[in-house]
């Protein structure tokens, strides 16, 4: 018998060879490849990002004024005048909802820059807002500093305004200048988000992006920032519905991060069902690893909007997702080994609307009520490894009879992601009865099921790539909205 905190039997030591990328040699057999996969670990910047769990997007710009989703870059920017803009309100609301980091659309596909870039006239400096002296990027960055929140920038590679888009060398140079401004003038940047969307179509302008130069610049200026989507650190989950995969590996074949692969699966038009939806498959299962030339830590991010659109539209004020809907998204994103990137679009006044903030706070309350009391706390644990050390049975003798309908599992991803299959069972007084099951765990796995009352729960790890290394186990009772 051992205490909840001393899971030493199943906690693996950090392997000396742990790293965020490994190559696979032609001589590696299946066993060697699986061992390697189990030892791939997040880089410190990826670990920090994963532990945030909840992040937010602020889609704001000329589209907010045009009541559009995709601008064409020809907009008359004199309509941009968010007189009541208060970025502190945005960040305060996000923080009150338990969100840890926010990302601002510094430049969307229409090319309008929310900061006074020196490299184009299509910016806030050429609008009536604050007599051309305003800078939304600065206001958001400063508010993040004030409230202790992470700060990130979204910069669309696809630019429908720039005259040099399609002249690859010139546009890449412009893009590097813009990135430099964003990464040097606003303090610490924690995430850089490169959208893969491109609606040029087969006869459109063809721009070859200088990704390597962009990444080098980011690593140089803001080494702690994760580079997301068209980037090496964070992968798009593959849908904008809020649904993560049931089997979600953070260790993938290196081919998953190629730009061709990302671009092929990104949006090509404004519909919200991306072409080549990447959700169908398990991307990092054993079969995928066997043909890989290398393996990388490449975790998924689930982006979804609190409203139907990414930008604010008055007609959607009654379509804001409810606290229960946000709770479902929480379970299907954070609860499926992903980080949630929830979009909250400020309105034309430059404020988050009351509908959105009420829903966010209701959701926060539901999470707090549900997760404040871990019914496995104080349990006495009896664990034994199976015949192979890649299986384990862990019995939790609860501190009395408890009723719960949620289980939370976390792996210690500092040593890698390992668990491939598990079941959770409850003792009904005479026998063990299965209450739920799953495949991957990863950073966090949350499962819901009809309420169970018992004083004994058994977690059985049926398959793992190396000895399972669990970080946390929790049992909870869902709060009613
Ligand atoms: C997509 C874009 O086309 C949408 O407008 C939005 O920015 C979303 C987050 O990414 O690819």
The pLDDT assigned to 300 comes to: 96
Whether the per-residue pLDDT at 143 is higher than 70: the answer is: yes
**Residue 452 forms beta bridges with which residues?**
404
Q: Tell me, yes or no, whether 121 lies in a domain.
A: yes
Q: In angstroms, rounded to a whole number, what is the distance separating the alpha carbons of residues 346 and 313?
A: 10
Q: What is the DSSP string of 451-464?
A: EEEEEEEEEEEEEE
What region does 334 belong to: left with phi over 0, alpha with psi -120 to 50, or beta?
alpha
Do residues 347 and 384 both lie within one domain?
no
As a whole-number percent, the residues of the chain with pLDDT over 70 amount to: 93
Do residues 77 and 126 both lie within one domain?
yes
Q: Of 400, 373, 382, whose CA–CA distance to 455 is shortest?
A: 400
Range of the domain at 162: 42-250+298-369
Q: In angstroms, rounded to a whole number, what is the distance separating the alpha carbons of residues 3 and 24?
A: 39
Q: Do 270 and 199 form a contact (C-beta atoms < 8 A)?
A: yes
Mean per-residue pLDDT, 7-23: 55
Whether ligand 1 lies within 6 angstroms of the CB of 158 is answered as no
419: CATH: 2.60.120.260
Q: In angstroms, rounded to a whole number, what is the distance separating the alpha carbons of residues 435 and 463?
A: 18
Give the containing element (helix H, strand E) for 438: strand 432-438
Q: In angstroms, rounded to a whole number, what is the distance separating the alpha carbons of residues 231 and 24?
A: 22
Q: Tell me, yes or no, whether 410 lies in a domain.
A: yes
Whether ligand 1 lies within 6 angstroms of the CB of 267 is answered as yes
The pLDDT assigned to 264 comes to: 73
| Tens-place pLDDT, residues 53-77 | 999 999 999 999 999 999 999 999 9
Mean per-residue pLDDT, 360-388: 93
Structure tokens, 124: 């806030």
Q: Total domain count for the chain?
A: 2
Structure tokens, 178: 């813009």
69: CATH: 3.20.20.80
The pLDDT assigned to 256 comes to: 83
Q: Tell me, yes or no, whether 341 lies in a domain.
A: yes
Do residues 129 and 240 both lie within one domain?
yes
The pLDDT assigned to 173 comes to: 97
Residue with the smallest CA separation from ligand 1 atom 11 is 197
Mean per-residue pLDDT, 398-413: 98
Q: Tell me, yes or no, whether 75 lies in a domain.
A: yes
> Which residue, 369, 393, 416, sits at the end of a domain?
369
Q: Do 105 and 58 form a contact (C-beta atoms < 8 A)?
A: yes
Q: Tell me, yes or no, whether 288 lies in a domain.
A: no
Do residues 320 and 469 both lie within one domain?
no
How far, in Å, from the CA of 46 to the mean position of ligand 1? 22
The pLDDT assigned to 11 comes to: 34
Whether the per-residue pLDDT at 259 is higher than 80: the answer is: no
Do residues 364 and 395 both lie within one domain?
no
| Tens-place pLDDT, residues 221-254 | 999 999 999 999 999 998 888 999 999 999 999 9
Whether ligand 1 lies within 6 angstroms of the CB of 195 is answered as yes
Q: In angstroms, rounded to a whole number, what is the distance separating the alpha carbons of residues 194 and 152?
A: 11
Do residues 120 and 222 both lie within one domain?
yes
Ligand 1 atom with the smallest distance to the CA of 154 is 7
How far, in Å, from the CA of 223 to the mean position of ligand 1? 25
Ligand 1 atom with the smallest distance to the CA of 266 is 11
Give the SS3 label for residue 257. helix
Burial degree of 224 (CB within 10 A; 0-12, 13-18, 19+): middle
Q: Do 192 and 155 form a contact (C-beta atoms < 8 A)?
A: yes
Mean per-residue pLDDT, 120-139: 98
Ligand 1 pocket test target in 73, 157, 195 with most atoms within 8 Å of CB: 195
Ligand 1 atom with the smallest distance to the CA of 267 is 11
Do residues 47 and 193 both lie within one domain?
yes
The pLDDT assigned to 279 comes to: 63
């Amino acid at each position: 018998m051992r205490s909840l905190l001393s899971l030493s039997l199943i906690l693996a030591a950090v392997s000396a060879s742990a790293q965020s990328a490994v190559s696979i040699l032609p001589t590696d057999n299946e066993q060697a490849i699986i061992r390697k996969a189990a030892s791939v670990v997040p880089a410190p910047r990826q670990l920090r990002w994963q532990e945030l769990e909840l992040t937010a997007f602020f889609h704001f710009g000329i589209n907010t004024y045009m009541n559009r989703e995709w601008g064409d870059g020809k907009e008359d920017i004199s309509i941009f005048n968010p007189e009541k803009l208060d970025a502190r309100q945005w960040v305060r609301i996000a923080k009150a909802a338990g969100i840890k980091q926010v990302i601002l659309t510094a430049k969307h596909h229409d090319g309008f820059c929310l900061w006074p870039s020196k490299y184009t006239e299509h910016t806030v400096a050429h609008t009536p807002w604050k007599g051309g002296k305003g800078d939304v990027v600065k206001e958001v960055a400063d508010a993040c500093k004030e409230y202790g929140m992470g700060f990130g920038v979204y910069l669309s590679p696809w630019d429908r305004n720039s005259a040099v888009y399609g002249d690859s060398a010139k546009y890449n140079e412009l893009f590097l200048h813009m990135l430099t401004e964003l990464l040097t003038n606003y303090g610490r940047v924690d995430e850089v988000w490169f959208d893969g969307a491109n609606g040029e179509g087969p006869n459109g302008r063809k721009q070859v992006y200088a990704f390597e130069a962009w990444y080098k610049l980011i690593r140089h200026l803001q080494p702690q920032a994760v580079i997301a989507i068209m980037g090496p650190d964070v992968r798009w989950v593959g849908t904008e519905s809020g649904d993560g995969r049931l089997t979600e590996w953070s260790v993938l074949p290196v081919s998953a991060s190629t730009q061709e692969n990302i671009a092929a699966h990104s949006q090509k038009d404004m519909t919200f069902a991306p072409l080549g939806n990447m959700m169908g498959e398990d991307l990092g299962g054993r079969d995928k690893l066997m043909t890989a030339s290398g393996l990388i830590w490449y975790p998924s991010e689930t982006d979804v909007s609190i409203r139907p659109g990414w930008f604010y539209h008055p007609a959607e004020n009654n379509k804001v997702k409810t606290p229960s809907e946000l709770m479902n998204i929480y379970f299907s994103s954070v609860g499926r080994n992903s980080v949630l990137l929830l979009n909250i679009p400020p309105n034309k006044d430059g404020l988050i609307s009351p509908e959105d903030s009420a829903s966010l706070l209701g959701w926060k309350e539901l999470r707090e009520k549900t997760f404040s009391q871990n019914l496995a706390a104080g349990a006495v644990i009896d664990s034994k490894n199976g015949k192979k050390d890649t299986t384990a049975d862990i019995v939790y003798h609860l501190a009395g009879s408890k009723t719960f309908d949620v289980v939370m599992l976390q792996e210690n991803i500092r040593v890698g992601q390992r668990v491939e299959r598990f079941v959770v069972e409850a003792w009904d007084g005479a026998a063990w009865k299965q209450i739920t099951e799953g495949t991957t765990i990863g950073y966090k796995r949350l499962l819901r099921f009809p309420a169970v009352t018992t004083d004994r729960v058994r977690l059985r790890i049926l398959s793992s790539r190396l000895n399972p290394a669990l970080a946390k186990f929790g049992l909870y009772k869902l709060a009613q909205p």
